[in-house]
């Protein structure tokens, strides 16, 4: 494993092993992991890609982008390894590519940023990833550099046997930089169990602006265990929007620190689940400085025997006066057998703030449904229209028009039962 990786990447493994030996995987039924048993999910004897010989597929041949008019810089990660190729059009001072190559080209920056947030707040799961990660993707945007077009990173899990990959994302935006990144999860095969741990570390400098969109559209046998860490400097703006359309078992962690005054965060999430799918989202937004603002909205649409969970916490530190923080979770249940667990929380240690949190869980509005049917709309179509309307405010949080339009189409297909496999792969 070490032989195929940059020496700087290997240098973190022993310390991560010590952390993992002490902490292990997060204990099931603990305060933050009441609905996802990490140890049980990773108990099977998955194969590892230790002796990596390069991608077995050409992602350009097996993956066809279905986001028309996105006009993005396209990148691929195959089974945790960045697919290296030459990219044209990006500003010459921007780095966008392999984690190993970044460690060799920018060792000072790598040492300054890699694993700092994950080691401080990721616990045993992040340590496990650091022990075994072999590559990943890095976006480095120097000060005052603006990337006009979005970047699309497609992460493909491929193979014929059950396997576990460990993925890594590192995003560094220096002061005044701007970028938009779309990360898509796809699978090329339906039957193997593809398990993945993912650690994302995002640093957003003073006055920088970063949009981060995640879309999971994988197979029912996938296991996704992802943790995203965001650190914001003064007057920075961050949008995070996570959408789960098709999955097996998913646990997403988002930990966002607003460390400079006037920083602003918008965190959106949406999940559409049926059959026996499970989606568990955890968020922690920590207001550490005054005059910061955060707005958080998660929505779930559940059916059949699917299970959803939302555990959100906002902490306002002492001295973080003039904070504005809002948290909302809304859930739509379509059967008697699906389950939703919600736990919105506020911890406020300052006395001059505007904060709120709330949760609603229920069925479709029978009055609205009756009104639509009385005007000649068939019941099945009326239900679809109401479900689609329920997703609208999450979609409006997407600031890439082509992506927003494409998601509207995918969501409509999902509700009609047409989105039954990864739409990007042949």
Tokens linked to 139 = 């976006």
Supply the pLDDT for residue 368: 87
What are the beta bridge partners of residue 146?
178
Supply the pLDDT for residue 71: 83
Domain count along the chain: 1
Supply the pLDDT for residue 401: 86
Q: What residues make up the domain containing 103?
A: 2-415
Residue 397 maps to a domain:
yes
Instruction: Name the one residue in this structure whose structure tokens are 């240690």.
Output: 349
Supply the pLDDT for residue 425: 43
Record the pTM.
Answer: 0.95
CA 107/CA 248 separation, integer angstroms:
37
Residue 305 maps to a domain:
yes
Residue 425 maps to a domain:
no
Which residue ranges of the chain lie beneath pLDDT 70? 48-57, 61-69, 86-87, 419-426
Residue 260 maps to a domain:
yes
Residue 388 near residue 415, CB atoms below 8 Å: yes
Supply the pLDDT for residue 4: 87
CA 209/CA 310 separation, integer angstroms:
27
Residue 86 maps to a domain:
yes
Residue 292 maps to a domain:
yes
CA 229/CA 122 separation, integer angstroms:
9
Residue 42 maps to a domain:
yes
Residue 424 maps to a domain:
no
Phi, psi of 68 (to 5 degrees): -65, 150
Supply the pLDDT for residue 56: 67
The three-class DSSP label of residue 103 is: helix
CA 10/CA 117 separation, integer angstroms:
18
């Amino acid at each position: 494993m070490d032989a195929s990786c940059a020496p700087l990447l290997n240098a973190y493994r022993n310390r991560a092993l010590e952390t993992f030996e002490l902490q292990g995987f997060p204990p099931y039924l603990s305060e933050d992991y009441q609905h996802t048993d990490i140890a049980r999910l990773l108990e099977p004897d998955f194969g590892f890609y230790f002796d990596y010989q390069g991608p077995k597929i050409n992602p350009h041949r097996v993956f066809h982008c279905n986001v028309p008019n996105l006009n993005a810089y396209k990148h691929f990660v195959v089974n945790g390894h960045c697919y290296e190729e030459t990219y044209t059009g990006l500003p010459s001072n921007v780095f966008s590519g392999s984690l190993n190559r970044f460690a060799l080209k920018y060792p000072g920056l790598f040492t300054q940023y890699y694993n700092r947030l994950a080691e401080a707040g990721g616990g045993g799961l992040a340590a496990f990833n650091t022990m075994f990660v072999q590559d990943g993707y890095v976006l480095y945007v120097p000060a005052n550099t603006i990337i006009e077009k979005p970047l699309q990173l497609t992460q493909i899990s491929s193979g014929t046997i059950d396997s576990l990959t460990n993925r890594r994302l590192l995003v560094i935006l220096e002061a005044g930089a701007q970028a938009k990144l779309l990360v898509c999860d796809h699978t090329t095969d339906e039957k193997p169990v593809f398990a993945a741990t993912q650690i994302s570390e995002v640093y957003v400098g003073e006055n920088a602006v970063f949009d981060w969109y995640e879309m999971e559209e994988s197979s029912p046998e996938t296991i996704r265990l992802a943790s995203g860490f965001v650190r914001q400097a003064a007057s920075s703006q961050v949008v995070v929007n996570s959408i789960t359309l098709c999955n097996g078992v998913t646990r997403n962690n988002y930990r966002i620190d607003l460390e400079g005054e006037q920083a602003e965060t918008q965190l959106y999430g949406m999940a559409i689940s049926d059959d026996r799918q499970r989606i568990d989202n955890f968020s922690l937004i920590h207001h550490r400085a005054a005059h910061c603002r955060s707005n958080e909205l998660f929505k779930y649409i559940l059916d059949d025997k699917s299970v959803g969970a939302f555990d959100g916490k906002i902490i306002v530190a002492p001295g973080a006066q003039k904070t504005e923080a809002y948290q909302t979770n809304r859930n739509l249940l379509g059967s008697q057998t699906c389950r939703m667990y919600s736990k919105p929380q506020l911890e406020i240690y300052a006395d001059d703030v505007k904060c709120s949190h709330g949760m609603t869980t229920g069925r479709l509005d029978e009055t609205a449904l009756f009104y639509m049917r009385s005007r000649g709309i068939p019941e099945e179509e009326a239900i679809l229209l109401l479900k689609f309307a329920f997703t609208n405010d999450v979609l409006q949080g997407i600031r890439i028009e082509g992506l927003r339009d494409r998601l509207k189409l995918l969501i409509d297909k999902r509700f009609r039962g047409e989105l039954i496999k990864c739409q990007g792969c042949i």
